[in-house]
Structure 1
Amino acid sequence: MALAALSLQISLAQAQSEGTGPGGQGAGQGESFRPGIYEEPEENLPADVGELFDDRGVLTPKGALIMEPSLSFSHSSANRVAIEAFTIVPAIAVGLIDVREIRRDTFILAGTFRYGITSRLEFETRIPYVRRSDDVRSRQLLEASSDDVIIDSNGNGLGDIEAALHYQLNIPDPGDPYFIANLRAKSRTGTDVFEVDRELVMQDDLIVGERLMEQPTGSGFWAIEPSITAVYPTDPAVFFGNFSYTWNLERDVGGNIGEIDPGDFVGINFGMGFGINENTSFSLGYDHTVVFRTEQNGSVDQTEFDRIHVASLLLGFGHSFSPKANLNLALAIGVTEDAPDVQVTMRLPIRLF
């Protein structure tokens, strides 16, 4: 999901001896298999082509349980200028100009568990632990003081737990794409921004800002995300893409805030992966999410943009250490202002049985 971190698993696209299917002698697997329908020995773990997105492309074999610890780090920065003034001549403003430099670092340590209910249906749950720190440096340019105001805060704790179902819709003929239907639900188990205490920041007996006593670890809203994933194997590469819609459920926060209906998300991503050798793979991808405007008590803030675009370029690397363990690294580089500058994610899927 857009509130969470992203990965898509797909099989190595090395052709079988008769030139069919996306399986073959891929990443440490000695037996061929069709997408989602595994015929390799039970002890083998399906190989990946550099995990990039959250939505599944290779399903867990029937009766198998996979544990995937992961660690993600993201860094965001922004410079914002707020002007409350009037102009007397072009380029000269009289009033208050507030300049802010914002830095945010987020660490997410998560445990993901996937179980193959059938050879075409998989259940997944993800439990994250989040640590966030924010630093804001502010200066009011037209005030007498030349000192910067530093406002910092951090927080850590349980994040929003997620659960998902993935179902392979078809068993394709050789050379045809296959499709995965996904349904993901996100809770609000993390501490949200409405539950965090605040304090005023003073300078020279003036209120210059507001500081969160701690950073939230959750969004504060339930969300449901249906999506469809397409995977097209073609030797020696695999092409994949996903389209999703995230419905964020409205909530009555109470007090003087009232009812908040967060904006929904529309997301699309696509990419390509290919095997370098039997154990190593590489992938490229692009992810784009459109976030729509939030409503409060049935109305919208006219000063906000109608939509926000969050887009990233992704690079992935996968390596199979053994039939039961893979290592996956993913790098996301933000290409729009509202996307994180950089995000690095490491995953280690391990087949338990």
Structure 2
Amino acid sequence: MLIKYKSVAFLPVILSLFQPVLAEDKDEAKRPQSVSDIIERPGVLTPKGKFAVDTSISYTQNSSNKVSVVGYTILPTLLVGRIEVSDSDRTTITTGLTMRYGLTRSTELELRLPYVYRNDQVSTRPIQDGAEANTINTTLDGGGLGDIEFALRQQLNFNTTPYWVAGFIVKSDTGKSPYDVEVDSSTNTFLDVPTGSGFWSVEPSISMIFPSDPAVIYSSLSYIYNFKDDVEISNQQVEVDLGDTISLSGGFGFAINPDFSFSVGLSHKTILKSKVNGVENDDAKLLQLDSLNFGINYAISKKTSLGISAQAGLTEDTPDFQLSVRVPVTF
């Protein structure tokens, strides 16, 4: 999630990056800004009466290797049962159209429409069977509309530092839920690709921006609450409560010249355990996701900029790599 601001003590370079939110005059923004992407590149709220369109595309690669053991141990070195090894490579390409409007000097509205394309390749083979021909290769390919998001952001102060921005995001369930996709019982894999979570959620957040000439230090804290819903599992209606998510991120943005800047940051997410019919399953897992983020931003013109960001996963459950390209335009 992202942010940029101006300080009276800043060099002209920094002023050009952060002027739209803090300036008292009515000059137009030097370039499109965003408060929703502080990890990727610094930005600010859309000026009052201005409309911004942000087109983006992101590529995410995730791979994993897993060994499953179904059986029991007679001796520490003797296992009776079945050992199965699986290798999965999942590629996700998400294109997004984000529209922002400056409702007031300190308030911004946002609507995001994502389209998700996925290609999953999963290979499984029982070790003890030995023959390579017994390897089961499954490829899933497809896409569709993702979960549409609505956001409201409010800058809380202007004249003192650090600056604070509060946000509230509502995520819909327009994407195809994993619970709506059929599963192959023999391989325990999807027969189609899900494109959304299948659950409504809300995400309140608070972001801090502290100008420190010639850099800007930022941090953000948010909590994603998923609403419970009834889904069908194994031909039975059950109530599923997805685990909520606690997110914390921070880093700094630095301007090289009036047109080029970069940002470096770390982000952490804790995904709490899910519940089925109010009870945690024995295999429910608390997930810890950490990533290193690096982004650059280049001002193509006074109304258009190009942002490129890369994210590397630091923990097992985090996607291995993500590359995003954004082109926001202010009208």
Work out whether the TM-score is over 0.5.
Answer: yes
The answer to whether the aligner puts 1:318 opposite 2:305 as a matched pair is no
Matches of 1:45 and 1:281, distance apart in 2 = 12
Note if 1:245 corresponds to 2:223: yes
1:98 — aligned with what?
84
Aligned to 1:81: 67
Q: Give me the whole-angstrom Cα distance separating, in 2, the residues matched to 1:49 and 1:273.
A: 13
Query: Residue 196 of structure 1: CA displacement?
Result: 1.9
CA deviations 1:176-198 (Å, max 9, x no partner) are: 21100000010011111122233
How far apart are residue 55 of structure 1 and its match? 11
Q: 2:250 aligns with which of 270, 278, 282?
A: 270
Aligned-residue offset at 1:128: 0.3
Moved more, 51-60 or 292-301: 51-60
Distance (Å, rounded) in 1 between the aligned partners of 2:22 and 2:16? 17
Letter in 2 for 1:250: K
Q: How many residues were matched structurally?
A: 328
Among candidates 246, 252, 262, match of residue 282 of structure 1: 262
SS in 1 for 2:179: helix
Instruction: Supply the distance in 1 between the matched residues of 2:157 and 2:78 (Cα, whole angstroms).
Output: 64
Structure 1: which 5+ runs fail to align?
Answer: 1-6, 201-206
Aligned residue identity for 1:127: L
Name the counterpart of 1:340.
319
Which residues of 2 match residues 298-309 of structure 1 at below 5 A?
Answer: 298-305=278-285, 307-309=286-288
Q: What value does the CA root-mean-square deviation take over the aligned residues?
A: 2.4
- Tell me how far apart the structure 2 counterparts of residues 278 and 63 of structure 1 sit (CA, whole Å): 25
Aligned equivalents of 1:263, 1:250: Cα separation in 2: 10
The answer to whether the Cα contact below 8 Å between 2:21 and 2:47 also exists between their aligned partners in 1 is no
Amino acid in structure 2 at the alignment position of 1:79? N
Query: Could you tell me whether the CA contact under 8 Å between 2:20 and 2:44 is conserved in 1?
Result: no
In 2, Cα distance between equivalents of 1:189 and 1:50: 21
Between the aligned residues of both structures, percent identity stands at: 34
Question: Which residue of 2 is the match for residue 165 of structure 1?
Answer: 152
Contact 2:305-2:328 at 8 Å conserved across structures = yes
Please tell me whether the aligned partners of residues 84 and 124 of structure 2 are also in contact (alpha carbons under 8 angstroms).
yes
The whole-number CA distance in structure 2 between the counterparts of 1:67 and 1:296 is: 40
| Other structure's SS at 1:300 match | coil
Distance 1:258 1:35 in 2: 47
Cα drift, residue 253 of structure 1: 1.2
Under a length normalisation based on structure 1, what TM-score does the superposition of the two structures give?
0.86
Does residue 109 of the first structure (1) align with residue 95 of the second (2)? yes
Q: Per-residue displacement from partner, 1:256-280 (whole Å, max 9, x unpaired)?
A: 1411000000010001011011110
CA distance in 2 between partners of 1:101 and 1:222 (Å): 31
SS in 2 for 1:276: strand
Counterpart amino acid of residue 10 in structure 1:
K
Measure how far apart 1:23 and its partner are. 7.7
